[in-house]
Amino acid sequence: MKATVKAHTNIALIKYWGKRDERLFLPTNNSLSVTLDKFYTITTVEFDEQLTSDQFYLNGNEAEAKETKKVVTFLNRVREKANSTLFAKVTSENHVPTAAGFASSASGYAALAAAAAKAIGLNLNERELSQLARQGSGSASRSIFGGYVEWEKGMESDGSDCYATPILDRDAWDLRVLSVEVTTKAKKVLSREGMKRTVETSPFFAGWLEAVDKDLITIKEALQEKDFTKLGQVVEANALKMHATTLGANPPFMYWQSATVEVMQEVQALREKGIEAYFTIDAGPNVKVVCQPDDEQKIHEALNALPVVNEIHHCRVGPGITYIAD
Ligand code: FM0
């Protein structure tokens, strides 16, 4: 009745932005990510008939009520699937620098889904685990797998065809991702809230949906051909389009700060000097830079020289979930 799983974060190269069903976490568009080796969550789940409620410990302490509530909602889905009424103790260790703008929800719910399913005796394959993880946080559906991963939006209203699939092995292409942490001031709009507001109010959301399918075709060609220029250009353009939708929302909002723009401009300046780097940005002010191994050091030096940069974390392409013996 106990299982431990390690799952890594991922960064979307083509973004998930918009839900068609909020309860089931069904997205409006496919997305494509790369799993990262550096940041991960390790979660142990133990179902125990002695317990009278679920317990959630995060990094050694009892988690906040809001987080615990989300975990309980997720465990309810697992119990329903397994026809069980047992409560669980969940212990999670997050090795994710949340300040670097990496959502720990992707690795967190991928690890929780796999550990909870195993502990309660559900025998789920990776596709089923992806569907389950999705119901904790959309991006978690992709973190079940390593390498380059596409999350299919599906058509069905019950989510039965909505899951991630691996499309290229982690060893197939050694790209690097620099996570550039900048100094921040403003309070952020959570991604869940931001995407909802955008879907409901932004006139640019229709343009986003129209463009994203073409971007997916382009990036899949680039992955096939290992064409870094093609990949980088579409990654950067796709992130910019996602962020453009927020400016049209009501009330409008923006995830960038001045430091964000400084890093973006330095990346573009590096390209003008012939060093190939491309940026992508999630629902926060920090910037992720995608590059090839030979350019990593030069890019680090240039970005590290900017006063607005706090810290740079270097990532490689990472693995899918692993079960850890207790
Ligand atoms: O990762 O509401 O998964 O594709 O990071 O929990 O389903 O935290 F930039 C935004 C991630 C969205 C793009 O959203 O939302 C991406 C984003 P939830 P998530």
Residue range 193-204: mean pLDDT, rounded: 97
Q: Is residue 252 pLDDT above 80, yes or no? A: yes
Rounded distance from Cα 221 to ligand 1 centre (Å): 24
Write the DSSP symbol of residue 195. H
Gyration radius (Cα) of the chain, Å: 19
Q: Is residue 207 pLDDT above 90, yes or no? A: yes
Rounded distance from Cα 273 to ligand 1 centre (Å): 33
Task: Write the residue with the smallest CA distance to atom 6 of ligand 1.
Answer: 137
Q: What tokens were used for 310?
A: 């706090």
Given pLDDT bands bounded at 50, 70 and 90, which one contains residue 179? very high
Q: Is residue 98 pLDDT above 80, yes or no? A: no
- 176-316 is classed CATH 3.30.70.890: yes
Residue range 178-203: mean pLDDT, rounded: 90
Q: Taking all residues of the chain, what is their mean pLDDT, rounded to a whole number?
A: 96
Which of 21, 36, 282, 286 is the pocket-test mutation for ligand 1 (most atoms within 8 Å of CB)? 282
CA separation for the pair 227, 15 (Å, rounded):
20
Q: For the chain, give every domain's residue range.
A: 2-172, 176-316
pLDDT tens-digit map of 43-71? 999 999 999 999 999 999 999 999 999 99
Rounded distance from Cα 15 to ligand 1 centre (Å): 8
Q: What is the pLDDT of residue 324?
A: 97
**Class of the domain covering 2-172:** alpha beta
Percentage of residues in the chain having pLDDT higher than 90: 94
Alpha helices for the chain (secondary structure H)? 65-82, 104-120, 126-134, 191-201, 205-225, 228-247, 258-272, 296-304
Q: What is the pLDDT of residue 188?
A: 79
Residue range 232-258: mean pLDDT, rounded: 97
Task: Write the residue with the smallest CA distance to atom 5 of ligand 1.
Answer: 282
Q: Is residue 314 pLDDT above 90, yes or no? A: yes
CB 9 within 8 A of CB 39: yes
Residue range 140-169: mean pLDDT, rounded: 98
Note the maximum CA span of the chain: 64
> Could you identify the residue written with the tokens 């109010």?
201
Q: Is residue 326 pLDDT above 90, yes or no? A: no
Q: What is the pLDDT of residue 185?
A: 74
Q: Which of 113, 99, 97 is nearest to 7 (CA)?
A: 113
Residue range 18-46: mean pLDDT, rounded: 98
Q: What is the pLDDT of residue 58?
A: 94
Q: What is the pLDDT of residue 99?
A: 59
Residue range 231-256: mean pLDDT, rounded: 98
CA separation for the pair 181, 312 (Å, rounded):
6
Rounded distance from Cα 140 to ligand 1 centre (Å): 9
Q: What is the pLDDT of residue 102?
A: 67
> Strand pairing partners for 110?
none
Percentage of residues in the chain having pLDDT higher than 70: 98
Q: Is residue 213 pLDDT above 80, yes or no? A: yes
Do 2-172 and 176-316 agree at the fold level?
no
Give long-range contacts, CB 8 A cutoff, 24+ apart: 156-159. 157/21, 157/26, 158/24, 159/21, 159/24, 159/25, 159/26, 159/131, 159/134, 159/135
The minimum-distance atom of ligand 1 relative to the CA of 282 is 9
Q: Please give all residues whose beta carbon lies within 6 A of any atom in ligand 1, as ranges.
A: 12, 15-16, 25, 31, 103, 105, 137-139, 191-192, 282-283
Rounded distance from Cα 267 to ligand 1 centre (Å): 24
Rounded distance from Cα 16 to ligand 1 centre (Å): 6
Q: Is residue 184 pLDDT above 80, yes or no? A: no
The minimum-distance atom of ligand 1 relative to the CA of 10 is 1
pLDDT tens-digit map of 110-140? 999 999 999 999 999 999 999 999 999 999 9
Rounded distance from Cα 12 to ligand 1 centre (Å): 9
Q: Which of 263, 158, 204 is nearest to 17 (CA)?
A: 204
Q: Which of 138, 140, 169, 170 is nearest to 154 (CA)?
A: 138
Given pLDDT bands bounded at 50, 70 and 90, which one contains residue 189? confident
